[in-house]
Amino acid sequence: MPSLTLREAQRSDFPALAEILSLTQPDWPTGAEDLQRQDDTRDPAHFALRVVAEQAGQIVGVGHVGHDDFAFEPWRYWSALDVHPDFQRQGVGTALYSELKRHLQERGAREVRTMLSSKPQDAAGRAFLERRGWRVGWERFESQLDTRDTDLSTFDGLLTGVAEQGVRLMSLAELAADPDRDRRLHELDWLLFQDVPSGLTPTKKSLDQWVKDELADPQLRPELSFVAVGDGPSDPLTGSYVGYSTIGKSRGEHYYIGMTGVLRSHRGRGLAKALKVAAMRELQAQGGGVIKTFNDTPNRAMLTMNEALGFQRTATMYRYELELS
């Protein structure tokens, strides 16, 4: 076999890398522009590195390692490793893994994490990690619903009750004229994420970085993402925004829910469920589609809500962790 060359990825490699990632992760196709946007919007204070494996001039694999920007610690990193299906079980993954681990050790990393699913395409990857001492540290459930097969009229009473509370459900598109929208959502998102049982301690991003990562994400669908706007006293941080739920559209055929949450002061009133129903109805009006959602296993409240909405479990996501000496 031709010798294998490892080198740092260049922008000119992005089309080839996107092809590999789309083959190894068929549920979440990647475009070259997605990789470019990741580089363009990344916080420059966070380390990130892509290494490609090349054989006879063809890129056959890619490995990524970088800081965890959700729960940042200078010694903690996330990683991913993907090998073209035609070149798997030929030592490409092992070579990339060794190279990434070398970079981590040189940087004094103490912990590295990655995420793999219970789906068949990830079975070999899970075995690869477990042979090298990785262990599952957290689980998250994937569920989905097809709005084309869902009778949303059963939630008419829920939406009526929310309206009677004086709460309006407004899309991000409808709120675009609010000059304080982005700032209020940034603060709301921060408050909500601190209550998500993710097994992590989140790090607050700057407003500019958060807008780049969330509101400026080209996959976000503003007309399907809703904010609960109350009529009570205006909060200095979140204004009249008391909850919100976002939906994005993948490059594949499905949509996905990002954040859904409601301030503690407004929980127990059906607002989170109503936000999701509003999004589902709008999607249904546009022809419908499959929506995926991901919830950590301790988040019983959200799991129960999703089951009541009709979401069905499709897979388990495993967060693998490795401690480095």
Q: What pLDDT does residue 1 have? A: 59
Cβ–Cβ < 8 Å for 93, 58 = no
Please tell me the distance from the alpha carbon of residue 161 to that of residue 272, in angstroms, as a whole number. Answer: 13
Cβ–Cβ < 8 Å for 186, 153 = no
In a domain, 137, yes or no: no
In a domain, 53, yes or no: yes
80 and 159 co-located in one domain: no
Total domains in the chain come to 2
301 and 159 co-located in one domain: yes
Tokens 């594949």 belong to residue: 252
In a domain, 303, yes or no: yes
192 and 296 co-located in one domain: yes
pLDDT in tens, the chain (325 residues): 579 999 999 999 999 999 999 999 999 999 999 999 999 999 999 999 999 999 999 999 999 999 999 999 999 999 999 999 999 999 999 999 999 999 999 999 999 999 999 999 999 999 999 999 999 999 999 999 999 999 999 999 999 999 999 999 999 999 999 999 999 999 999 999 999 999 999 999 999 999 999 999 999 999 999 999 999 888 999 999 999 999 999 998 899 999 999 999 999 999 999 999 999 999 999 999 999 999 999 999 999 999 999 999 999 999 999 999 7
182 and 309 co-located in one domain: yes
Q: Whole-model pTM?
A: 0.94
152 and 289 co-located in one domain: yes
Cα torsion through 99, 102, 106, 107, rounded to 10: 70
In a domain, 121, yes or no: no
Please tell me the distance from the alpha carbon of residue 247 to that of residue 275, in angstroms, as a whole number. Answer: 11
Q: Name every residue whose Cβ is closer than 8 Å to that of residue 105 and which is 6 or more positions away in sequence.
A: 324
Please tell me the distance from the alpha carbon of residue 60 to that of residue 310, in angstroms, as a whole number. Answer: 41
In a domain, 136, yes or no: no
What is the span of the domain harbouring residue 21? 4-109
